Amino acid sequence: MGKVIPHSLFTDYDINLFKSGKHYRLYDKLGSHPMELNGEKGTYFAVWAPTAKSVSVIGDFNYWLEGDHKLYVRWDESGIWEGFIPGVAKGNLYKYKIRSHNQDITTEKADPFARYSEQPPKTASVVWEGDYKWKDKAWMGYRKEKNGLDRPYSVYEVHLGSWKRTDDNKFLSYEAFAKELVSYVKEMGFTHVEFMPVMEFPYDPSWGYQLTGYFAPTSRFGNPEEFKKLVDTMHQNDIGVILDWVPSHFPEDAHGLGMFDGSHLYEHPDRRRGYHPDWKSLIFNYGRNEVRAFLISNACFWLDQFHVDGLRVDAVASMLYLDYSREEGEWEPNIYGNNENLEAISFFKELNEYIYGNYDGVQTIAEESTAFSGVTKPVYLGGLGFGMKWMMGWMHDTLEFFKKEPVYRKHHQDDITFSLTYAFTENFMLPFSHDEVVYGKQSLLYRMPGDEWQRFANLRLLFGYMFTHPGTNLVFMGGEFGQSSEWNYQHSLDWHLTNYDFHSGIQELVKQLNHIYKNYPALYEKQFSPEGFQWIDYGDAENSVLTYVRKGHDKKNDLYVACNFTPVPRENYRIGIPSAKKALAEIFNSDDKKYGGSGMHNKAIKVTKNSWHGHPNSVEVTLPPLSVLIFQ
C-alpha cells in the first residue's frame, strides 16, 4: 500500500462556494472516491476537520494503524484534509483518526460523506463506487405531471425493517422489496411510497431517526446499487418515492458527527441551541456556512444520485423554535427577542428555493406540528417554501373524535368540522403515520369503540372520511388492513390477518379509495383550494351526519359525500343538491359487503326540486350505519 500522494478534486471556486455555504454538490468532492492517478489505481480521500492538527486514514488496508496514511491540509484555511492513497479500492473499510488542537482530543470517525457503511453494530465506512444503469427515463420525463400539487398523492409509509420479514425474523433485502413491496404498493393503488429514514443509523430502536451516515443507504438490506434498483423499480411501476430526511438532530455516537474534529463542528456550540433534551441528541449549527452546505448537499444527493421524488422533512417544529421542549431559562431569544430560530428559518428557505429551482417534479413535505405561518407559501412571498405540510391538528382532532362512543359524538361535531376553518391556509397532507400506533396509543383499529363489527365499520368510515377531506393522504403500513396490534419495529406486520374477512375488507376498501381518488378529478384538482370544497350541511349534530361537495375544474365532475358517524341507519335522509342534476349514482359505499359492511345501498337516486339546506334541489338517500357514501 503506497504512501499518501498530494492530490485535490477541489478548485478555488469549489472552496469559495464551500466557505460561503453555497456548494450543494459536496458529495462529488468530500468523502472517498476511487480513481486512477498517473496510471495508478487508488482512492482519493477528503474530509472537513478545521481544528485538526493531523488526520490519518485508518482501515483494513493498514491494520487500522495511525500514521501510515496522513492526509494533507489545504493551504486555503478551508479546513479540508485530502490526499490520494494508491491501492485502496472499492470495498475497503476505513475511518478517520483525527488529532485535534483542541486540548489534544483524538477521535476516530466514520466518513460523513461515505456512500456505504458496515452493517451495524459495526461502524466503519466502506469505499464505494457505483455503476448502476437507471431504467426510469420515462418516469423522470413525466414525473412533474405525476407529482404536481393538483395530482393524486396517496402515500404508503413504510419502515423497511418491519414491513415484512423472513420466517426466521430476518430482514428482507432491497432486492426482495423491489419485488414484493413494489408489487403490493401497485396492487393497493398508492401513488407514492414514503420510506422512514434509509440513511445509515446505528440503533434500531431509533427507527432510523438518529443518523450517522447521511450519504449511505443502510447496509441492513443491501448495498447502494440495490437500493437504487428498488427506487428504479418503483418508478417503472409509476410509483413515486419519498424519503424521510432528518436535518434536525443527530446522535452523540462516538463514530458520528458529534465533536467530529475535537470541536463542535456540526453541532451548535451553545448547549441551549445544540442539544435536544427530548431525543438526547445534537442539533446542527444552521448558522455555519459549511454545515448548511453539508445538509443541502445531502438533500440534493438523494434527489440527484437516487432519483428520489420527494423529501419529508422530520421534526421541522423543533428546528423553527428556540424554546422547543425547553423550560424558561433553558433557551435564549433571538436578536428580536422572540423564540424563532432565524438561522433555521433561513436554512429552510435556502433549501427549498434551491430544490424547487433545480429539480423538476419533486416535493418537500414538512412534518410541522405548530401554527407557524407560511410553511407551504413560496419563499418569494415570505414563506418557507415547502410543497406540503402534515396536517397534525386534523389528525389529532379526528382520532379524538373517533375514539368517542357514537352516542356522544353529537356533542363533539365541532371537533370533526374544525379542520375546514384552516384547511386551505397551507397545502396539507393528512397523515395517519407510525407515530400514531406506538407507545400505548393502540392501533387505529383498536382506537375505535364498539364491538368487532363497529370497530371495523368505524375504521372504514375513518378512511372514507380521510380520502374525501381536502388534502393529500398518508397511511402507515398495516393500517390499510386493520392491523390489530401496535406497530413493533422488531417484527413483521401481521400479514396473516388478511386471511380474515374483516381485515381483507379494510384492505379492499383502501384499494378502492385509492382507485377513486386517482380517477375522480374532483378529489385532487383543487385539493388545496377552497374552491374544491363546499359544505352542504355541517350542523346536523343530532344525527352526527356531515354532507359536503368536492369539486374539480369541471362542474359535472362534482362529488357529493355523506358521512354517518353513528351505528344508526338513516333512512329517507334528505340532502340538498347545489346543481340541477336529474339523478345521482352511488359510486362508493363503505358499508358494502365486500368491505365487511352490512350491504345497505342506494340504487336509483332521483334529484327533486324540493329545496333543502339552502339549495333548490335535493335527494333522499339511506345512510348505512357508520358509513361514508360518495355520489356523482
Please choose, from the candidates 329, 296, 284, the residue with its C-alpha nearest in 3D space to the C-alpha of residue 22: 296
Tell me, yes or no, if 314 is annotated catalytic: yes
Q: Does domain 12-126 have CATH number 1.10.10.10?
A: no
Tell me, yes or no, if 494 is annotated catalytic: no
| One-letter amino acid of 385 | G
What does the pLDDT read at residue 229? 98
Do you know the residue count of the chain? 632
Cell of 206: 431509533
What does the pLDDT read at residue 554? 92
Cis ω before 121 (30° cut-off from 0): yes
Cell of 116: 456505504
The residue written with cell numbers 405540510 in the block is 389
Contact 562, 507 (CB under 8 A): no
What does the pLDDT read at residue 166? 95
How many CA atoms does the CB half-sphere of 547 hold within 13 Å?
21
Domain boundaries, the chain: 12-126, 153-390, 391-479+490-632
* Catalytic residue from among 14, 314, 586, 592: 314
* Catalytic residue from among 367, 368, 537, 592: 367
Q: Look up the CATH number of domain 153-390.
A: 3.20.20.80
Question: Is 117 in a helix, a strand, or coil?
Answer: strand
226 contacts: CB under 8 Å, gap ≥ 6: 173, 174, 175, 178
What does the pLDDT read at residue 604? 84
In angstroms, rounded to a whole number, what is the distance separating the alpha carbons of residues 84 and 81?
11
DSSP 529-576: SGGGEEEEEEEETTTTEEEEEE--SSGGG-EEEEEE-SSS-EEEEEEE
Contact 610, 618 (CB under 8 A): yes
157 contacts: CB under 8 Å, gap ≥ 6: 193, 194, 196, 431, 433, 434, 474, 475, 476, 477
DSSP secondary structure letter of residue 544: T
Cell of 603: 340504487
Q: Does domain 391-479+490-632 have CATH number 2.60.40.1180?
A: yes
DSSP secondary structure letter of residue 260: T
Cell of 100: 485535534
In the chain, count of helices (H) and strands (E)? Answer: 14, 30
**Average pLDDT of adjacent 10-residue blocks, the chain of 632 residues:** 91 97 98 96 98 97 94 96 97 97 92 97 96 96 94 98 96 98 98 98 95 98 98 98 98 97 96 92 97 98 98 97 93 95 98 97 96 96 97 96 96 96 97 95 96 97 98 98 96 97 98 98 97 96 97 94 97 90 92 97 91 92 98 94
In angstroms, rounded to a whole number, what is the distance separating the alpha carbons of residues 367 and 59?
39
Contact 82, 30 (CB under 8 A): no
Question: Is 171 in a helix, a strand, or coil?
Answer: strand
| 153-390 and 391-479+490-632, same CATH topology | no
Torsion region of 357: left, alpha or beta (phi above 0 gives left; psi -120 to 50 gives alpha): alpha
Q: pLDDT tens-digit profile of 501-543?
A: 999 999 999 999 999 999 999 999 999 999 999 999 999 999 9
What does the pLDDT read at residue 130? 87
